[in-house]
């Protein structure tokens, strides 16, 4: 087993901590990365605090905007009003992968006997039985990772039609074992599995592109990790209307294609693997108009139908070094 190497001493700053029970009694740690969303962070935190789970759990908030620290201040204020074990940190290394890594490291060190780490983003709202259901499925399937849906909630009922767009669709619909997961937005992770991998768990090359979670899941699967899905443990994701705009939807599809190519590229071990990957990218691009046509017939939306072509194009562009770093401008994401 490989020991995880800690981040640099200046990467993480603990700004607040409270123990409602001995740290060694904590069984689950909920981690919440946040960046310049203090108002919604309070809503997310409230939903994480008000869980029906009987097992002792703790919360770790990682503010990835240390210059402002509004998230850390909001979290400290709300957590101080509730008797729950919690730690608030400033994650000084910018990027979503760096924030996740800081949260994992803090959870593993502050709560050394915890069995699970649960991720929820600062734009999501959990239902009261969310944590209970996710832990139950993970334990019953003996999975290392258990994912669950993220249901986009748009302002105005007329925009809910965009839930049907492929970029918002969950990868699975039924509870039980699955081959692999693709997103860390609502995932329960075994601490035993985390301890089997070296830090950084999420490679920071994906900090602004996204896909560090998919890359980690792929590497973990290669080492024997198992996965499950809990369809009943979905969270509601507050989704800004800009994510219904053509420019954002196309950018997300291109990004997904880039991630796919980059993850496969990192797994190549020979020139033959390299050639197979490029051929696959070309074939996917050639087939994408037919896939788009099928999607148009099924969905009745030209915008949704563009998704397969954009994914294929993004994948091919990555082969030539062009990556769509959609998280670089976080305010526009």
Q: What is the pLDDT of residues 178-219, one digit of tens each?
A: 999 988 889 999 999 999 988 889 998 888 788 889 899 999
Helix (H) or strand (E) holding 17: strand 12-18
- What pLDDT, on a 0 to 100 scale, did the predictor assign at position 81? 94
Q: In Å, how far are 65, 170, 187, 302 from 164, measured between CA atoms?
A: 33, 10, 22, 13
| Strands annotated E in 142-272 | 145-147, 150-154, 176-178, 186-190, 227-229, 235-239
**Contact criterion met (CB below 8 Å) for 236 and 125:** yes
- What pLDDT, on a 0 to 100 scale, did the predictor assign at position 7? 66
* Gap between the Cα atoms of 173 and 157, Å rounded: 23
Q: Looking at the chain, which residues constitute the CATH 3.90.550.10 domain(s)?
A: 12-242
Residues of the chain above pLDDT 90, percent:
56
- What pLDDT, on a 0 to 100 scale, did the predictor assign at position 2? 39
Average pLDDT score over the chain = 89
pLDDT over 50 (residue 331): yes
Vertex 29: Cα angle to 24 and 31 (nearest 5):
145
CATH code, 12-242: 3.90.550.10
pLDDT over 70 (residue 50): yes
Provide mean pLDDT across the span 227-238: 96
Task: Decide: helix, strand or coil at residue 59.
Answer: strand
* Tokens read off for 148: 């669950």
What's the pTM? 0.88
């Amino acid at each position: 087993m490989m020991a995880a190497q800690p981040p640099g001493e200046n990467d993480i700053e603990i700004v607040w901590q409270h123990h409602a029970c001995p740290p060694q009694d904590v069984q689950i740690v909920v981690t919440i990365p946040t960046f310049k969303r203090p108002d919604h962070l309070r809503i997310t935190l409230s939903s994480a605090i008000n869980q029906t789970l009987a097992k002792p759990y703790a919360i770790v908030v990682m503010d990835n905007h240390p210059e402002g620290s509004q998230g850390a201040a909001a979290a400290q204020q709300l957590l101080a009003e509730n008797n729950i074990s919690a730690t608030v940190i400033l994650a000084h290394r910018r990027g979503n992968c760096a924030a996740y890594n800081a949260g994992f490291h803090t959870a593993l060190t502050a709560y050394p006997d915890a069995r699970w780490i649960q991720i929820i983003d600062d734009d999501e709202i959990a239902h009261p039985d969310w944590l209970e259901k996710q832990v139950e499925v993970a334990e019953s399937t003996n999975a290392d990772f258990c994912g669950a849906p993220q249901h986009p909630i748009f302002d105005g009922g007329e925009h809910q039609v965009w839930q049907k767009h492929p970029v918002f669709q969950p990868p699975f619909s039924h509870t039980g074992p699955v081959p692999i997961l693709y997103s860390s937005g609502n995932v329960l992770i075994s601490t035993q599995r985390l301890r089997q991998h070296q830090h950084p768990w999420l490679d920071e090359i994906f900090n602004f592109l996204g896909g560090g979670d998919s890359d980690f899941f792929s590497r973990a699967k290669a080492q024997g990790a198992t996965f499950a899905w809990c369809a009943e443990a979905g969270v509601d994701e507050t989704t800004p209307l800009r994510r219904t705009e053509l420019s954002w939807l196309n950018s997300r599809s291109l990004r997904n294609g880039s991630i796919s190519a980059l993850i496969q590229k990192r797994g190549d071990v020979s020139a033959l693997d390299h050639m197979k990957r490029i051929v696959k990218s070309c074939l996917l691009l050639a087939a994408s108009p037919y896939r788009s046509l099928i999607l148009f017939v099924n969905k009745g939306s030209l915008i949704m139908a563009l998704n397969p072509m954009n994914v294929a194009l993004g994948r091919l562009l990555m082969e030539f070094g062009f990556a769509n770093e959609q998280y670089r401008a976080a305010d526009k994401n």
